[in-house]
């Protein structure tokens, strides 16, 4: 299990290749990438700042990954989440789930993202033409997490 | 008769994201007088509300605020002890 919080960009292909090279029992990989959009709620976004809670961020992600591994018959989970200043087009988050078979990897990947969106201590601040604005949490994210 | 000596509970408070800006502070050390019953996160919030201003506005009943005690997600009824770190923040928006 690997959880990383970093400012640097990530290379999903390289991460997947590394996971596969280390475990020949992997028969299935599911991955999710979140990226910065240039428009949110009808306003142009020129910059996105990701704040986090140092000391809690990694442990909160560890707990989510532990829960996914306990619930789903999968082999491993990788989560990489960027922090700092990003611009439209930048990658924000990578979740990779590996398993022997495809049966569980899709659900496990969605589960990790649903709980990352509602429990991991990150906050986004947008730079818009009329000033800065903190992104607000969505009820749909809480609903998505509650269905598990 | 029992000897009740009131003592202070010393907490490290951390304010994050929009609340850090609203409170104009990233955190502080707070001393709260202990009472007979165990102290909770709600007691800490009450102690901050009485300051008025941004604390009263942002921590008013019904406002969407989340908490962590020693880096674990906590509800308002969670217990806090001397030396704990209590973080107060808006609903998270990562991913």
Per the structure, the count of domains in chain B is 1
If 0-12 CB within 10 Å is exposed, 13-18 middle and 19+ buried, where does residue A106 land?
A: middle
Instruction: Please check whether residue B3 lies inside any domain of the structure.
Output: no
Q: What is the pLDDT along chain A (148 residues), one digit of tens a residue?
A: 799 999 999 999 999 999 999 999 999 999 999 999 988 888 889 999 999 999 999 999 999 999 999 999 999 999 999 999 999 999 999 999 999 999 999 999 999 999 999 999 999 999 999 999 999 998 888 888 888 9
Maximum Cα interatomic distance, chain B, rounded to a whole number of Å: 56
Dump pLDDT digits (tens) for B56-78: 999 999 999 999 999 999 999 99
Whether A122 has its CB under 8 Å from any CB of chain B: the answer is yes
Predicted local confidence at residue B25, as pLDDT: 97
Dump pLDDT digits (tens) for B13-40: 999 999 999 999 999 999 988 877 889 9
Instruction: Please check whether residue B93 lies inside any domain of the structure.
Output: no
If 0-12 CB within 10 Å is exposed, 13-18 middle and 19+ buried, where does residue B24 land?
A: exposed
| Domain membership of residue B57 as a residue range | 8-72
Alpha-carbon distances of A79 from A82, A89, A104, A120, B81, rounded to whole Å: 10, 19, 17, 12, 32
Let me know: does A102 contact A25? Beta carbons within 8 Å. Answer: no
Whether A134 has its CB under 8 Å from any CB of chain B: the answer is yes
Let me know: does A97 contact A31? Beta carbons within 8 Å. Answer: yes
> Please, how many CA atoms are within 13 Å of residue A128, restricted to the half-sphere of its CB?
15
Predicted local confidence at residue A79, as pLDDT: 98
This prediction has a pTM of 0.92
Q: How far is B87 from chain A (nearest CA, A)?
A: 9
CA distance B31 to B8: 6
For tokens 């009131």, the residue is: B6
The partner residue sitting opposite A120, judged by closest CB among B71, B72, B94, is B94
Predicted local confidence at residue B38, as pLDDT: 87
Structure tokens at A93: 């988050």
What percentage of chain A's residues is helix, strand, coil (to nearest 5)? 35, 35, 30
- Domains of chain A and any CATH numbers: 2-135 (3.90.1170.40)
Q: Are strands B8-15 and B85-89 parallel, antiparallel or unpaired?
A: parallel
Whether A104 has its CB under 8 Å from any CB of chain B: the answer is no
């Amino acid at each position: 299990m690997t959880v990383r919080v970093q400012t640097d960009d990530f290379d999903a292909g390289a991460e997947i290749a590394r996971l596969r090279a280390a475990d020949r029992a992997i028969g299935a990989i599911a991955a999710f990438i979140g990226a910065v959009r240039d428009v949110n709620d009808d306003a142009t976004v020129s910059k996105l700042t990701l704040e986090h809670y140092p000391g809690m961020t990694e442990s909160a992600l560890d707990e989510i990954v532990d829960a996914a591994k306990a619930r789903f018959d999968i082999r491993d989970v990788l989560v990489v989440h960027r922090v700092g200043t990003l611009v439209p087009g930048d990658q924000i988050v990578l979740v990779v789930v590996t398993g022997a078979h495809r049966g569980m990897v899709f659900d496990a990947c969605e589960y990790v993202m649903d709980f990352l969106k509602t429990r991991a201590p990150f906050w986004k601040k947008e730079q818009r033409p009329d000033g800065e604005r903190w992104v607000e949490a969505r009820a749909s994210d809480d609903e998505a997490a509650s269905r598990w | 008769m029992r000897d009740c000596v009131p003592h202070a509970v010393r907490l490290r408070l951390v304010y994050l994201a929009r609340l850090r800006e609203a409170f104009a502070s990233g955190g502080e050390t707070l001393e709260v007088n202990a009472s007979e019953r165990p102290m909770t996160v709600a007691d800490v919030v009450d102690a901050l509300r009485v300051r008025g201003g941004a604390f009263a506005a942002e921590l008013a009943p019904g406002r969407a605020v989340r908490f962590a005690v020693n880096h674990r997600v906590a509800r308002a009824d969670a217990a806090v002890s001397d030396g704990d770190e209590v973080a107060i923040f808006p609903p998270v928006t990562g991913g």
